[in-house]
Amino acid sequence: MIAAERGTIEQLIKAQAYGLGFDLVGITTLGPAETVAAFDDWLASGYAGEMEYLARGAEKRADTRRPVSGAKSAIVVALDYGGREPSGPVSRYARGDDYHDVMVSRLRELHHYIETAVGAPVSGKPYVDTGPILERDLARRAGLGWFGKNTMLINPRMGSFFFLGELLLDLELEPDAPFEADRCGSCRRCLDACPTSAFREPRVLDSTRCISYLTIELKGEIDDAIKPAIGERVYGCDICQSVCPWNVRFARALKEPAFASRAAIAGKDARTLSREILAMSDEDFRTAFKGSPMKRAKLGGLKRNAAIVLANLGSETGIAEVEVETDHPSDSLSR
């Protein structure tokens, strides 16, 4: 058993997680989700919009022991995606490879290492934004940060430009202390900066007014009244993170090659990217965005967004109405 020779199993797990490239790692015990009532209220208020998949798995979501039978502990990790990268028409998180694939692969490596370390098979499963789990809840309990007023998990050493993932295991582990402090104070820069006033109150986001939701999740047309506020954003929005003082001070430079901008995006301003998207065929789209988070909006959704951006920029060329695909993927449970 490796743990007996080189340190506690918790120490080894964390060292291996950092060795795999994760930027934060914490451990928590599974059990009733502390924020489930607030999430259910959020759903009941209609703030999820068309994201009906978020309501699935309510029973499992209420208790983090239920998604994986016998699971007792969660190893929660974060992977930074480069908050120092310049702003642009595509949200920073979506410029490179799909974070689901990147993180799940590494969590599986971590799982294999743990089995080797304890010298026995360990039942478990990795999750990255694809299951009935309130991930921020687990992350706060594992000591990784607090819920900001923009609803993002914020870490005091690196801000909020990171992905969350967790490995649920049938293994008793010593938990870390939860993050108890709220370090937003009286600041409301994220709330005031939102161009569509999507925050109903601190920590309550109305997705139906959020530019990320509108340009990624919404299947149909975007309301004419809100189109000007989309500005030059073809896919997603980083405003509420970019203005956060914790990111202004502590956001990090991109270090993960998988998240570097792909050729279809790199160095292109909103006008250029929008024109190229409008000219794309289905085959062009599949080639340019293979393995990209941007595939979620599908080509029809991206063309809809590109047309809005060019109209906002006062394009000198006429923009025809763009037919938007209505068959959005919904197999994911939380994305």
Write out the catalytic residue numbers.
129
| C-alpha closest to that of 165 among 60, 26, 42 | 26
Pairwise CA distance, residues 240 & 204, whole Å: 13
> DSSP assignment of 58-104, as one string?
HHHHTBTTSSSTT--EEEEEEEE--TTSPP-SB-GGGSSS-HHHHHH
Q: Which long-range contacts (CB under 8 A, 24 or more apart) does 320-325 make?
A: 322/278, 324/219, 324/220, 324/221, 324/300, 325/219, 325/298, 325/299, 325/300, 325/301
Helix axes of 298-312 and 270-278: crossing angle, nearest 10 degrees: 140
Pairwise CA distance, residues 64 & 80, whole Å: 24
Residue 117 parent element (H or E)? helix 99-118
In angstroms, how far is CA 166 from the centroid of its own chain? 13
